[in-house]
Structure 1
Amino acid sequence: MQISGNTIFIPGSTSGIGLALAVELHAEGNTVIVGGRRADLLERIAAEHPGIDTVQIDTTDPGSIASAAKEVLARHPDLNVLVTMAGVMHIEDWRRPESFLASAESVITTNLLGPIRLIAAFVEHLQEQPDATIVTVSSGLAFAPLKVTPSYNASKAAIHMLSESIRLQLAETTVKIVELEPPSVRTSLLPGQEDSEFAMPLEDFVAEVVVLLRTQPDAKEIQVERVKFLRYGEARGDYDQVVETLNALDPHGR
C-alpha cells in the first residue's frame, strides 16, 4: 500500500486507533472518510479535522453497511482502500454461560462478521481500481491468548486466517490484503487500558505504523516491534512462556 494518494474509508474510526490513523493518513496526503455510528462524534471529527469526510455506519447491521457503501462510493468513486477497523473487546468468564454467551455473540458479530460484510460490500468496486488495498485488523492476541478475553482472541485469530486466505484468492487481481496487527495500545478498548503501563502509547503506535507503511509498501503484515513478542512466540519456540508472561501481568493482562 502506498502511503499517499489514496482514497480511504475507515469504518469504526471515531476514536482510538481508527481515528488516530485516519488523522495521520489524511496528513500524509490521502482522502479519508471516517465511519461510525454516532452522528455527534462524526460532526465533531469533521469540525476538528477539516478535509476528513464522514459517513454514518453501524458495522453490526448489514443494512447499514449496504447503505453506507452506496453513500461512500457515490461521493468517492475513486475509493481504493478499505480499512476494516471496527472492533470490541469484552472480559468473559467461560465457567458461567450467563457471563460469556451474549458477549461472545457481540464480539463475533462486530469483529468477524463486520469485516466480512464490509469486504463483501466493497470488493467488486476495489477490483475495478488500478491499485487497491483491503486492510484487515487482527491483534497480537490472534497469536497468543489473553485468558480473560476468549472471544476477542478467537475473532482476531479468525481475521488473521481470513486475511491469509482471501489474499490467495485475490492474488490475480489489483487488490492487496494487508493485515494490521496491533499490540495492546492505550485506548478505551478495555476499562483502564488508556492508563496501562503495559500498553503502547497510541501516538507511538500510529507513528510507527505510518513509518512501516511508508518504508514497506509491499508488506503483507504491519507489525510494530512491540507486537512481535506475541506474534512470533510459536516460531521462536517460547510460546508457553509468552502466554504465561502475557497473563501474569495483571488480571486483565495489562
Structure 2
Amino acid sequence: MELTKKTVLVTGGGSGIGYATAMLLIKKGNQVIITGRNAEKLDKAAKELGVDYIVGDLTDADSVASLVKKLEADYSDLSVLINNAGVGFVYKLGESANAVEKARQEFETNYFAPVRLTELLLPLLKKQPEAAIVNITSNVAFHPLVVLPTYSDAKTALHSHSVALRLTLSADTNIKIFEVMPSLINTDATKDMGGEQHGLPPEVAAQEIYNGINEDRYEIFVGEAGQQYADYLTDPNAAVAKFNQGLY
C-alpha cells in the first residue's frame, strides 16, 4: 500500500512513536490528525507538526463516538487508522500486586480502546478505494515479560484480534490490517523500563512502520523483535527464558 496522499488518524500522537510516525507521514505527503486525552500535549505537538488534533478519551465510549462523528464530518476521506495509544505498569505478579486493577487500565487502553475505535470507523474506511488499520502491539505480544505481565496480556490480546480481523476483512473489503511489534523504544512511557538507556529512538519505529506498510508486510518487527520472534518459533521455552533473563 503506497502511504502517500492519504488521510491518517494517529492515536496517542502527542509523543513517542505516535508523534514520530505523524512527523514522517507528513513528510511523505499525507494529511495527519492526532488524537489523545491530554489537550495540552496534543496542542503543543499539533503546532510543532502543523496538523489538526482532536482531544478525546479513547477508553470512554461517548468520547469515541464523538471522535468518529467528527472524523466522518470533517475527514470523510480518512483511509488509515494507526492505533498507537498505550499504557503499561512495571511490576511483578504476587499476592500484593493489585494485578486486576492494573490489568483493567491496561486492557481499557491497549485492547478495548482500539477494538472499539476500529469497529466504529469500519464504515468510513470501507468507503475508501484502499484503507489500512495499523495496530501497535509489542514484542511481548508473542512472549511475556515478567515485569510487564498484564501489559503483555493486553498486547497478546490485540495481536490475536489483529489476526482475526485481517482474515475477516480480507474476504470482502479492501482494508489491510498491519501489526507493528517493536522491541524497547525510548519514549516517556518507557523510562521505568530502561528506555533511555537501551531503547531505540522512536524515529526508527516510525520508519519501519512506513516501510512495512509500503511493502505490504502485515507483521512489522522493529529492533530486536524480529529475531526474538524467530527464536520463539524455534524454541518457545528457551526464548521466553532468555527474554526474561535476570528478571525473575
The interval holding the TM-score normalised by the smaller chain is over 0.9
Match of 1:92 in 2: 91
RMSD (Å) for aligned C-alpha atoms: 1.7
Given that residues 16 and 202 in structure 1 are in contact (C-alpha distance below 8 angstroms), is that contact kept between their aligned partners in structure 2? Answer: yes
Tell me the distance in 2 between the aligned counterparts of 1:100 and 1:225. 29
Runs (5+) with no aligned partner, structure 2: none
Match of 1:221 in 2: 219
2:180 is the counterpart of 1:189: no
Moved more, 33-42 or 224-233: 224-233
Match of 2:150 in 1: 151
Q: CA deviation at 1:101?
A: 1.8
Moved more, 127-136 or 221-230: 221-230
Match of 2:4 in 1: 4
Tell me the distance in 2 between the aligned counterparts of 1:46 and 1:156. 27
The runs of at least 4 consecutive aligned structure 1 residues that moved more than 4 Å come to: none
CA shift in 2, pair 1:167/1:207, >3 Å:
closer
The normalised TM-score by structure 1 is 0.90
Percent identity, aligned pairs only, is 32
Runs (5+) with no aligned partner, structure 1: none
CA shift in 2, pair 1:223/1:98, >3 Å:
closer
Q: CA deviation at 1:96?
A: 2.1
Match of 1:132 in 2: 131
Match of 1:243 in 2: 240
Tell me the distance in 1 between the aligned counterparts of 2:11 and 2:223. 26
Match of 1:234 in 2: 232
Given that residues 83 and 136 in structure 1 are in contact (C-alpha distance below 8 angstroms), is that contact kept between their aligned partners in structure 2? Answer: yes
Q: CA deviation at 1:230?
A: 2.3
Supply the AA of the counterpart residue of 1:228.
G
Task: Please give the per-residue CA displacement for 1:64-119, whole angstroms capped at 9, x wherever unaligned.
Answer: 11101111221111001111111111123321255322111100111110011111
Match of 1:20 in 2: 20
Supply the AA of the counterpart residue of 2:220.
I
Moved more, 141-150 or 220-229: 220-229
The normalised TM-score by structure 2 is 0.92
Tell me the distance in 2 between the aligned counterparts of 1:124 and 1:73. 10
2:26 is the counterpart of 1:54: no
